[in-house]
C-alpha cells in the first residue's frame, strides 16, 4: 500500500454499509464509433454549474474549430449519462466525479483528463431544520425525528450523483451517523429546485445555481448552512472524461479538447460575468437569469480549476466510499482513473 493509499483509507472509518443503487448496466466494454478521423463526436453533459467550462466552450464556438462535428446530449443526472456512456452512445463526457468513478470501476473504459471545479456542494436547509442543526449539530436528525415522528427529508440529485454521494458521505463519515436517520429524495436538477423552493423537503444537498436561486427566492426559507469546504476540503466536482478509445485513436483531438478546457477555465477567471451570462444562455434565461447566474458564479461553491492532480486524493477517497456503499467492488488507483499528460501538455506554455 502506497502512502497516498494509506492516507486516503485513514480518511474513512470502517463500517459504513448501504447501497446507492447505481451499478445497473455499467459493466462491459464500450463500442464507440469514430476511427482515426471521426466526422463527429457525441458529448454527454448536464446543464449544471460545475459544467461551466462546457458553457463557455459552447458559447464561444470553440468546438467549431476541432474538425469533427460535436453533438451534445444533455442528461438529467450523472448516472443516466454514464448509462449512455456504457451503451456506446457518447464519446466524451463532462460528468460528476462520483458517477465517473463508478463508470470506470464497472468497466466503462475512460480516463479523467481535466478537472472542472472544487468544493461545489452546498447543504441547504429550511429555517426549521437549520434551527435544529444550530441547536443540536449531528443530533439534529434524531431530535427532528423524535419531535416530528418522521425522518428529515433531504432532496438531492439522483442516486449515485456527486451531490447524492456527498450527502451520504457527510452523514456517515463526517457526522458518524447511519443513513437510517434521513430520507433521501433523488431528483432531476429541475425537480430538485422545485422541491427545495416549495418546501417539499426539509433540506438538501445541491450544487449551484440551486443554492443561489433559493437565496434569491423571497417565497422560500431554504438557505445554505454548510459548504463543501467545511465538510471535505478539496472535494472534487465535475471532470472532463473521454473514452479510452478516443484517447487511443485520437490523442491529438483529446489534446485539443483539454487545450480549450484550460482556455475556458482561464476565461472564467478573467470574465466571470461574461461566463455567467453564457451559463444563463445555455441553461435558459427563463430558468436561470443572468443576475442569478452572476451571483452564483461568485458563490463559495464556484471554484473553477483545470488541473486534475488537485482532485486525485479525494477522488480516491470517493472510490473507497463507493466500495463501502456497495456500488463498486473495484479498488481504483490513480492510474486507473487519471491521465495527467494532456493537462501537463496544455499547461506547459502557461
pLDDT higher for 218 or 17? 218
The answer to whether 10 and 316 are in contact (CB under 8 A) is no
Average pLDDT over residues 137-146: 98
63, pLDDT greater than 60: yes
How far, CA to CA in Å, does 12 sit from each of 165, 175, 230?
A: 14, 12, 16
237, pLDDT greater than 60: yes
Give the span between the Cα atoms of 189 and 86, in whole angstroms: 22
Residues in the chain: 350
- Name the pLDDT band for 15 (thresholds 50, 70, 90): very low
Give 271-321 pLDDT, tens digit per residue: 999 999 999 999 999 989 999 999 999 999 999 999 999 999 999 999 999
Average pLDDT over residues 139-152: 98
236, pLDDT greater than 80: yes
Identify whether residues 242 and 333 lie together within a single domain: yes
Give the span between the Cα atoms of 276 and 280, in whole angstroms: 6
Note the Cα 43 to chain centre separation in Å: 16
Q: Which of 206, 231, 256 is the last residue of a domain?
A: 231
Identify whether residues 150 and 103 lie together within a single domain: no
For residue 198, the model assigns a pLDDT of 93
Cell numbers 459548504: residue = 227
Identify whether residues 182 and 239 lie together within a single domain: no
The answer to whether 55 and 282 are in contact (CB under 8 A) is yes
The answer to whether 240 and 53 are in contact (CB under 8 A) is yes
Identify whether residues 97 and 186 lie together within a single domain: no
Neighbours of 39 (CB within 10 A): 10
Identify whether residues 154 and 296 lie together within a single domain: no
Identify whether residues 200 and 276 lie together within a single domain: no
User: Which three three-digit cell numbers place residue 226?
Assistant: 454548510
For residue 284, the model assigns a pLDDT of 93
Identify whether residues 64 and 143 lie together within a single domain: no
User: The domain that contains 79 carries what CATH number?
Assistant: 3.40.190.10
218, pLDDT greater than 60: yes
Give the span between the Cα atoms of 234 and 250, in whole angstroms: 31
Give the span between the Cα atoms of 108 and 29, in whole angstroms: 6
For residue 18, the model assigns a pLDDT of 34
Neighbours of 47 (CB within 10 A): 19
Give 106-120 pLDDT, tens digit per residue: 999 999 999 999 999
- Secondary structure of residue 122 in the 3-state scheme: strand
> Per DSSP, what are the bridge partners of residue 74?
45
Identify whether residues 205 and 97 lie together within a single domain: no
Average pLDDT over residues 332-338: 97
Identify whether residues 42 and 78 lie together within a single domain: yes
How do 153-156 and 203-207 pair as beta strands? parallel
For residue 70, which phi and psi values (nearest 5 degrees)? -105, 115
Identify whether residues 157 and 283 lie together within a single domain: no
User: Which three three-digit cell numbers place residue 142?
Assistant: 434524531
- Name the pLDDT band for 37 (thresholds 50, 70, 90): low
Q: Name the average pLDDT for the chain.
A: 89
User: Which three three-digit cell numbers place residue 312?
Assistant: 486525485
Task: Calculate what percentage of the chain has a pLDDT beyond 70.
Answer: 89
Average pLDDT over residues 140-155: 98
Give 72-122 pLDDT, tens digit per residue: 999 988 888 989 999 989 999 999 999 999 999 999 999 999 999 999 999
Q: Which of 188, 207, 231 is the last residue of a domain?
A: 231
List the domain range (segments joined by +) for residue 214: 121-231
pLDDT higher for 141 or 220? 141
Cβ burial of 15 (10 Å; 0-12, 13-18, 19+) is: exposed
Please give the radius of gyration of the chain, using alpha carbons only, rounded to the nearest integer: 20
Alpha helices in 18-137 (DSSP H): 52-60, 78-86, 97-105, 127-136
Task: Calculate what percentage of the chain has a pLDDT beyond 90.
Answer: 79
Q: Which of 189, 212, 231 is the last residue of a domain?
A: 231
Lowest mean pLDDT among 4-13, 281-290, 321-330, 335-344: 4-13
Give the span between the Cα atoms of 79 and 81, in whole angstroms: 5
The number of domains in the chain is 2
Give 151-161 pLDDT, tens digit per residue: 999 999 988 88
Identify whether residues 217 and 242 lie together within a single domain: no
Neighbours of 17 (CB within 10 A): 11
Identify whether residues 250 and 104 lie together within a single domain: yes
pLDDT higher for 92 or 10? 92
Amino acid at each position: 500500500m502506497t502512502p497516498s493509499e494509506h492516507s486516503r483509507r485513514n480518511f474513512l472509518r470502517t463500517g459504513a454499509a448501504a447501497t446507492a443503487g447505481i451499478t445497473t448496466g455499467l459493466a462491459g466494454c464500450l463500442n464507440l464509433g469514430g476511427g482515426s478521423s471521426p466526422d463527429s463526436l457525441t458529448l454527454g453533459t448536464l446543464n449544471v454549474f460545475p459544467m461551466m467550462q462546457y458553457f463557455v466552450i459552447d458559447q464561444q464556438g470553440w468546438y467549431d474549430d476541432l474538425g469533427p462535428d460535436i453533438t451534445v446530449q444533455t442528461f438529467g443526472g450523472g448516472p443516466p449519462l454514464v448509462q449512455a456512456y456504457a451503451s456506446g452512445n457518447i464519446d466524451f463526457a463532462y460528468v460528476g466525479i462520483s458517477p465517473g468513478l463508478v463508470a470506470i470501476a464497472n468497466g466503462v473504459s475512460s480516463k479523467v483528463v481535466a478537472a472542472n471545479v472544487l468544493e461545489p456542494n452546498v447543504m441547504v436547509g429550511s429555517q426549521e431544520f437549520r434551527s435544529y442543526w444550530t441547536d443540536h449539530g449531528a443530533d439534529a436528525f434524531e431530535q427532528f425525528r423524535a419531535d416530528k415522528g418522521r425522518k428529515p427529508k433531504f432532496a438531492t440529485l439522483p442516486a449515485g450523483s456527486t451531490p447524492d454521494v456527498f450527502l451520504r458521505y457527510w452523514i456517515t463519515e463526517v457526522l458518524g451517523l447511519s443513513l437510517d436517520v434521513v430520507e433521501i429524495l433523488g431528483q432531476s436538477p429541475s425537480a430538485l429546485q422545485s422541491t427545495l423552493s416549495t418546501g417539499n423537503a426539509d433540506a438538501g444537498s445541491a450544487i449551484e445555481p440551486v443554492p443561489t436561486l433559493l437565496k434569491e427566492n423571497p417565497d422560500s426559507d431554504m438557505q445554505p448552512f454548510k459548504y463543501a469546504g467545511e465538510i471535505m476540503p478539496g472535494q472534487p466536482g465535475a471532470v472532463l472524461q473521454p473514452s479510452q478509445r478516443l484517447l487511443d485513436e485520437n490523442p491529438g483531438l483529446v489534446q485539443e479538447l483539454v487545450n480549450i478546457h484550460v482556455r475556458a477555465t482561464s476565461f472564467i477567471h478573467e470574465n466571470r460575468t461574461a461566463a455567467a451570462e453564457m451559463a444563463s444562455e445555455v441553461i435558459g434565461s427563463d430558468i436561470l437569469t443572468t443576475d442569478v447566474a452572476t451571483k452564483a458564479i461568485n458563490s463559495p461553491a464556484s471554484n473553477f480549476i483545470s488541473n486534475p492532480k488537485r482532485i486525485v486524493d479525494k477522488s480516491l477517497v470517493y472510490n473507497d466510499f463507493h466500495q463501502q456503499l456497495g456500488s463498486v467492488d473495484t479498488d481504483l488507483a490513480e492510474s486507473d482513473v487519471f491521465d495527467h499528460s494532456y493537462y501537463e501538455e496544455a499547461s506547459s506554455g502557461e
